[in-house]
């Protein structure tokens, strides 16, 4: 089955995305509306992301736990804004074990209501604080316009939930997760630059007092919200009665945070680094970092190929041997390029006669003839450059489309093809409504120098980042 | 809050189990009937099990993927035995996004029907085989008599699903998973001895042609089915139309397997190794392998405690410092014993004046005065013995309760307090019915020498392992 080239990004970005996801075998549509099957290549990327995030979450002191999928419907009604935000997206179990249930159960859209029910039981004294919990889980939010990885009725994520003795400590923890876990993984591991800031009240998480966000710019200039960390204040602790006895024996409500990133990050990787030939993976997130391709099934080719696989593995890389020589070399080569494997080593009888193989660097699409003995150092040197070069390229692309403007009209123009930065003062009272009429939103608020706002900053002194979004 | 000692196993085994699970903070009941919250200590054990299983699953060539939680109800009806087996346990979503659904969705009780729908799409040619897929996921099976970890309405597990070109290859793969993944992890990592064999038709997985099982004996003599690996024959491939073109260009149905182990293994660990003081963990599955307890908050105590933590970490152990000196030392000591941490190092001012600390070996409850410089080698030497000693103890306990018998009456007597091994010939045609009247089941069938049956063995030549079960 021969397949043609994929559509270019310039021709049709959404179709390009769909084709890369399908042809790189990242994911497939599930049978029920809006559902997604994550195939081994896509799941392999997610596993590597998970490991990086999980390590950082544990370094931040949080412990993993697991809470029930099915939540009594009444729990959601305990926090008013929360239920209003999530009601339209719920999947509801009405029958269990062959009988109609007395109270319907909702499939968790997020676990604040469930986890806080347990926090109320577990937290008694200041000695129980801070309580720092993380959960890796699936969640369901009914979706009528699904897009694989970006917006699906079920997705995988981690959700952190914490309780603290003071507001300042909760705020500091929400920001620690934003920086040391999310930004650190997105930039340092996925090589995706992000703008950080907080959301306007209209864009906040349902039930939060402050939502901090990491916003990436995709290949089409649109924004993707890649991860959020919320200060919940005492909204949930008052609704769920989570109190502790402080040092002086007085009872107080805890201050809380919650924070999450999801399989959406796989979509960010595709749209942030992909080119017209498919996906380009930073080595840290590549299920295979090097593929050794045997061009033909010949004894010398196999011997050299297997020896290279062993040497490259010994050098610490994740390596696959592609010996499926009954499939054409060209087809296999295009497939690995689509999948974004950082380095391909092509082993064929002609080159081998001269003691050489061809080393291909995926992100630059550069081929080089390399003597057998030079392959390991060559691969090591390429491997060190991929992440930083992808980050530099994505950053340059974003900077080229990020414009500082002074009027709402200019913000509309710049925000329609990239990001506009505009002083809140210039945007005016009804600015957000007027942007919405152009399908634009405020992605985040920052200080004029791009740093995070402090609690006593005036909104009028902040700058809004405006763009279209996924 | 002072808590008394837990009930002994001899007094009331089920209550002992409940108390250990609660007091060791392994799990808690969720709000909806039959649901479970896995707390950090229990989840930490599960994470370590997962890592051991996952590594072995990948070594067996399977790749991880993720399939949707919600399955169209009609899918379950495609394989007749399968739907009959699972219908009474289903949770059903009838409403989504605020509307009644045209077709209800069931929350997956297992994913054969979902995954095989995708296999039918992905598998075309013999080049696509074998297809070896594993999924880590939550599943829901409505449960009216729940017990934490052992039987809950939702549990976490891995489920493997594979497709092969021949029956022999499928069979070999099912057995490879049974031995190299399941038995290897249970015995080699969890130090839990298991009997392996196959199920009688009555005890088989719904839709399988053969179910292979690992059966453990718990502290009360009852059997726990700890993991199963199924040969599915062509039952699902015919129901779902999963065909491939073989070398000669002919279309054939694939041969399949599926296999799973779950969070039930945490329950096995509690009931297989626990004593009257709580849980006893083999080091490989202990979230903390060593706890350094500061008896008092004094400068010298803290300095020595922190130095020991650093040294023990450098030696490769997972170590925690317990400096919660506002809680009594006795209480903390009992809590770590309940949690089953293999080694405690108690650092107090009196011992320290002589340059000593106390090292406590949990599974033997032995205390020893050790000079500071001797702690690291002492801990290393204890650590090497815990797993083998727990395995030897559990094996001896099982052997003491495993009796070879010749008549059904003897099987009833022995099976009621432990395991009976009885020739199928002696059990007779209606033996399984007669055992059922005594709440006994055949846990598995083996050859007389305890090995696995071969395809051409006659059932009459096999031996049945009979017992009560969880």
Query: Residue B69 is part of a domain; what is its CATH number?
Result: 3.30.930.10
Residue B83's pLDDT band (cuts 50, 70, 90): confident
CB A7 within 8 A of CB A277: no
- pLDDT tens across B239-249, in order? 999 999 998 99
- pLDDT tens across A367-402, in order? 999 999 999 999 999 999 999 999 999 999 999 999
What is the per-residue pLDDT for B134? Answer: 98
Is A75 touching B (CB cutoff 8 A)? Answer: yes
Whether pLDDT at A138 is above 80 = yes
Shared domain for B266 and B290, answered yes or no, is no
Structure-token pair, residue A167: 């507001």
Whether pLDDT at A152 is above 70 = yes
Domain carrying residue A350: 288-384
From A32, A89, A117, residue closest to B105, measured CB to CB = A32
Q: Is residue A346 part of a domain?
A: yes
Shared domain for B269 and B302, answered yes or no, is no
- The count of structural domains within chain B is 3
CA distance B451 to chain A (A): 35
Q: Is residue A315 part of a domain?
A: yes
From A68, A142, A156, residue closest to B35, measured CB to CB = A68
Shared domain for A310 and A231, answered yes or no, is no
When pLDDT is averaged across residues B20-47 and rounded to a whole number, the result is: 96
- pLDDT tens across A271-311, in order? 999 999 999 999 999 999 999 999 999 999 999 999 999 99
Q: Which of B371, B393, B415 is the last residue of a domain?
A: B393
Residue B2's pLDDT band (cuts 50, 70, 90): very low
Number of Cβ within a 10 Å radius of residue A428: 12
Shared domain for A239 and A298, answered yes or no, is no
Percent of chain A with pLDDT over 90: 94
- pLDDT tens across A226-253, in order? 999 999 999 999 999 999 999 899 999 9
What is the per-residue pLDDT for B4? Answer: 67
- pLDDT tens across A434-457, in order? 999 999 999 999 999 999 999 999
When pLDDT is averaged across residues A332-361 and rounded to a whole number, the result is: 97
Residues of B in contact with A136 (CB under 8 A): none
Q: Whole-angstrom Cα distance, residue B367 to residue B166?
A: 57
From B38, B68, B87, residue closest to A65, measured CB to CB = B38
Whether pLDDT at A345 is above 60 = yes
CB A113 within 8 A of CB A71: yes
Number of Cβ within a 10 Å radius of residue A451: 10
User: Which H/E stretch holds residue B377?
Assistant: helix B375-400
CA atoms within 13 A on the CB side of B390: 33
- pLDDT tens across B279-303, in order? 999 999 999 999 999 999 999 999 9
Residue B85's pLDDT band (cuts 50, 70, 90): confident
Which of A48, A68, A124 is the best mutation test for B, with the most CBs of B within 10 A?
Answer: A68
Is B92 touching A (CB cutoff 8 A)? Answer: yes
From A28, A88, A105, residue closest to B32, measured CB to CB = A105
ipTM computed for the complex: 0.96
Number of A–B residue contacts, CB under 8 Å: 169
From A36, A70, A94, residue closest to B32, measured CB to CB = A70
What is the per-residue pLDDT for A52? Answer: 98
Nearest-by-CA chain B residue for A96: B91
Q: Is residue B3 part of a domain?
A: no
Q: Starting at the earlier edge strand, list the strands of the sheet with B366-371.
A: B319-322, B290-294, B343-347, B356-361, B366-371
Shared domain for A302 and A267, answered yes or no, is no
Residues of B in contact with A119 (CB under 8 A): none
Q: Which of A221, A243, A273 is the last residue of a domain?
A: A273
Residues of A in contact with B326 (CB under 8 A): 127
- pLDDT tens across B248-270, in order? 999 999 999 999 999 999 999 99
What is the per-residue pLDDT for A4? Answer: 67
Shared domain for A32 and A61, answered yes or no, is yes
Shared domain for B248 and B295, answered yes or no, is no
Is A93 touching B (CB cutoff 8 A)? Answer: yes
From A43, A64, A88, residue closest to B97, measured CB to CB = A88
CB B185 within 8 A of CB B49: yes
What is the per-residue pLDDT for A1? Answer: 36
Q: Is residue B4 part of a domain?
A: no
Shared domain for B291 and B269, answered yes or no, is no
Nearest-by-CA chain A residue for B37: A67
Is B165 touching A (CB cutoff 8 A)? Answer: no
Whether pLDDT at B1 is above 70 = no
B positions 144-163 inside 8 Å of A (CB): 144, 153-154, 156
CA distance A32 to chain B (A): 7
Mapping DSSP onto H, E and C, the string for B280-335 reads: CCCHHHCCCCEEEEECCCCHHHHHHHHHHHHHHHHCCCCEEEECCCCCCHHHHHHH
CA distance B134 to chain A (A): 9
What is the per-residue pLDDT for B337? Answer: 97
> Which one, of B19, B26, B23, lies nearest residue B46 by Cα?
B26
A positions 317-346 inside 8 Å of B (CB): 324, 326-327
Report how far Cα B397 is from the mean position of its chain's Cα atoms.
19
Q: Is residue B78 part of a domain?
A: yes
From A43, A89, A153, residue closest to B65, measured CB to CB = A43
CA distance A95 to chain B (A): 5
Shared domain for A194 and A324, answered yes or no, is no
Q: Is A70 in Cβ contact with B154 (below 8 Å)? A: yes
- pLDDT tens across B342-363, in order? 999 999 999 999 999 999 999 9
Q: Is residue B63 part of a domain?
A: yes
When pLDDT is averaged across residues B84-111 and rounded to a whole number, the result is: 94
Q: Whole-angstrom Cα distance, residue B198 to residue B455?
A: 11
User: Which H/E stretch holds residue B408?
Assistant: helix B408-417
Shared domain for A326 and A425, answered yes or no, is no
Query: Residue B433 is part of a domain; what is its CATH number?
Result: 3.30.110.30
Residues of A in contact with B91 (CB under 8 A): 70, 93, 95-97, 105
Q: Is B72 in Cβ contact with A32 (below 8 Å)? A: yes
Q: Is residue A6 part of a domain?
A: no
Cα four-point dihedral sign B77, B80, B82, B87: positive
Shared domain for B356 and B385, answered yes or no, is yes
Query: Residue B326 is part of a domain; what is its CATH number?
Result: 3.40.50.800
Whether pLDDT at B189 is above 50 = yes
When pLDDT is averaged across residues A175-192 and rounded to a whole number, the result is: 98
Mapping DSSP onto H, E and C, the string for A268-298 reads: HHHHHHCECCECCCCHHHCCCCEEEEECCCC
Q: Is B31 in Cβ contact with A65 (below 8 Å)? A: no
Q: Which of A250, A273, A296 is the last residue of a domain?
A: A273
When pLDDT is averaged across residues B414-422 and rounded to a whole number, the result is: 98
Whether pLDDT at A2 is above 60 = no
When pLDDT is averaged across residues A348-371 and rounded to a whole number, the result is: 97
**Residues sharing a CB contact under 8 Å with residue B109, sequence separation 6 or more, in sequence order:** B86, B89, B90, B139, B140, B141
What is the per-residue pLDDT for A83? Answer: 84
pTM > 0.90: yes
Shared domain for B387 and B414, answered yes or no, is no
Is A87 touching B (CB cutoff 8 A)? Answer: yes
Q: Is A94 in Cβ contact with B92 (below 8 Å)? A: yes
Residues of A in contact with B133 (CB under 8 A): 40
Q: What residues form DSSP beta bridges with A446?
A: A463
Residues of B in contact with A68 (CB under 8 A): 30-32, 35-37, 154
Q: Is residue A106 part of a domain?
A: yes
């Amino acid at each position: 089955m021969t397949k043609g080239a994929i559509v270019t990004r310039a021709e049709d970005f959404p179709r390009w995305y769909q084709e890369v996801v399908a042809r790189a075998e990242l994911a497939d549509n599930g049978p029920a509306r809006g559902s997604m099957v994550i195939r081994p290549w896509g799941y392999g990327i997610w596993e590597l992301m998970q490991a990086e995030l999980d390590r950082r979450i544990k370094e931040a002191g949080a412990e993993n736990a697991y809470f029930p999928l099915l939540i009594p419907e009444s729990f959601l009604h305990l926090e008013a804004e929360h239920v209003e935000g999530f009601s339209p997206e719920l999947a509801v179990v009405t029958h269990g074990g062959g009988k109609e249930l007395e109270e319907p159960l909702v499939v968790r859209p997020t676990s604040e209501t469930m986890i806080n029910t347990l926090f109320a039981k577990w937290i008694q004294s200041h000695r129980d604080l801070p309580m720092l919990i993380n959960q890796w889980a699936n969640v369901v939010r009914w979706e009528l316009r699904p897009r694989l990885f970006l917006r699906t009725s079920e997705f995988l994520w981690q959700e952190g939930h914490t309780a603290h003795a003071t507001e300042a400590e909760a705020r500091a923890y929400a920001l620690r997760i934003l920086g040391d876990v999310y930004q650190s993984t997105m930039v340092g591991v996925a090589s995706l630059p992000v703008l950080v800031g907080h959301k306007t009240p209209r864009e906040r998480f349902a039930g939060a007092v402050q939502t901090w966000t990491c916003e990436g710019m995709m290949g089409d200039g649109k924004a993707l919200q890649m991860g959020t960390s919320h200060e919940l204040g005492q909204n949930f602790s008052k609704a769920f009665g989570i109190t502790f006895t402080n040092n002086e024996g007085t009872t107080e409500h805890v201050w809380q945070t919650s924070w999450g990133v999801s399989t959406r990050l796989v979509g960010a990787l595709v749209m942030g680094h992909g080119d017209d030939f498919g996906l380009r993976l930073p080595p840290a997130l590549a299920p295979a970092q090097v593929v050794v391709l045997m061009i033909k099934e010949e004894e010398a080719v196999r011997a050299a190929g297997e020896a290279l696989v062993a040497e490259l593995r010994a050098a610490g890389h994740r390596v696959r041997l592609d010996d499926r020589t009954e499939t054409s070399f060209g087809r296999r080569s295009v497939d690995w390029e689509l999948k974004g494997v950082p380095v391909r080593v092509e082993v064929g009888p002609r080159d081998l006669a001269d003691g050489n193989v061809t080393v291909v660097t995926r992100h630059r699409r550069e081929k080089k003839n390399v003597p057998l003995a030079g392959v390991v150092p060559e691969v090591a040197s390429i491997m060190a450059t991929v992440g930083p070069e992808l980050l530099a390229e994505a950053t340059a692309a974003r900077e080229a489309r990020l414009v500082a403007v002074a009027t709402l009209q200019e913000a509309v123009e710049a925000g329609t093809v990239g990001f506009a930065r505009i002083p809140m003062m210039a945007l005016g009272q009804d600015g957000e409504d007027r942007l919405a009429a152009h399908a634009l939103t405020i992605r985040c608020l920052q200080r004029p120098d791009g740093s995070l706002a402090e609690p006593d900053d005036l909104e009028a002194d902040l700058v809004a980042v405006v763009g279209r979004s996924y």
